[in-house]
Amino acid sequence: MSLAAKVLGSIQAELDLFEQRLDQALQSEVELVHQVARYLAPLKGKRLRPALAVLSARAVGGWDDRIIDAGVAVEMIHTATMIHDDVVDAAGTRRGKETVNAAWDSRIAVLMGDFLLSRALNILVDLKNQQALETVSRVTERLSQGEIYEIQIGQQTDTREASYFAMVSDKTASLIAASCKLGPILVGAPPQIVEAMGQYGEALGLAFQIADDVLDFTGDADTLGKPVGHDLREGKITLPLIRALAAAPPAERQATEGLLRQAEKTEAEWGQIVAFVERHQGLRSARQTARQYGERAEECLQALPASFARLALQQAARLVVERDN
């Protein structure tokens, strides 16, 4: 059973409403926007972020229909970043389907991403909750910063763990943390609960990204929806590689770093890098760190009363590490 099916089954009614409102939010008087939106519709993804907003509200014992709209805004921001990512990476496929930049062109992709971002911010304004608006507005800045920092790290072959975790915190964990805070914010939860849920989301986001890094080496292309080793070939410095470099003898490390800095690499050289990561236990070490962040996320939930929603959040912290896509 997939991550979505295991975690989201208990809130299916809310997610059905989410899908309806997302469809409404994508309406536009511009026909080309409709075309791209319809093209994106089958690429639903995991819906993890809106689900976390719903579950976090349920877990603190409250409800407000505005949470659905907040989830729509967060998912639109996430989709916009994915579209922009694909342009930056010149990616041809995502989840087994042509990217927007491949199906149309980069101009349309960039502008569609901008449309999604602006529509999301309008939705957040309409919630009439200053704290919710501030939370997501700050995250959009962090997302952009993380994307740019990731490029810098790759260009400089920066293999410091501190650089990696700073980038991942901004690029991935920040939006997941915001999703976990929105539900409690909109139901009027105490500040300490909002903060605990933000910490849960931050740890969950780090676990999610590290697990994704491992899957880039070990996953199946059909399951992942992108070629295996895609991130590595895009020059992205991920935790399995960082850990392998730290564990390798100095001479072997220097040779691999030199290979990473080469502008062009043969298939055999890519194979050498993958074998290096496996040989020096980079995948094993990264998996262990992902589990540790999952456990840290679960610890944050101790601030909540026992409930089915809390159990679902605990399960999510385990499943993001164990997933295969």
Q: Tens of pLDDT along 119-154? A: 999 999 999 999 999 999 999 999 999 999 999 999
Q: Is the pTM of this model over 0.75?
A: yes
pLDDT number for residue 225: 54
Give me the pLDDT at residue 173, please: 97
Q: What is the CA radius of gyration of the chain?
A: 20
| Spatial distance between the Cα atoms of 227 and 215, rounded to a whole number of angstroms | 11
Q: What is the mean pLDDT of the chain?
A: 91
The CA-atom distances, in angstroms, between 128 and each of 76, 181, 304 are 19, 16, 26
Name the residue type at position 53. A
Domain boundaries, the chain: 9-322
pLDDT of residue 190: 96
Structure confidence at residue 264 (pLDDT): 87
255: left (phi over 0), alpha (psi -120 to 50) or beta: alpha
| Nearest of 27, 151, 45 to residue 96 by alpha carbon | 45
- What is the architecture, at CATH level 2, of domain 9-322? Orthogonal Bundle (1.10)
Can you give the pLDDT at residue 232?
85
> How far apart are the two ends of the chain, measured CA to CA in Å?
12
Tell me if 304 sits within 8 A of 310, measured CB to CB: yes
Report which residue type is found at 106.
Answer: S
φ/ψ bin of 305: left (φ > 0), alpha (ψ from -120 to 50), beta (otherwise): beta
Ranges of residues in the chain whose predicted pLDDT is under 70: 1-8, 44, 220-228, 325
3-state secondary structure of 169: helix
pLDDT at position 252, please?
Answer: 95
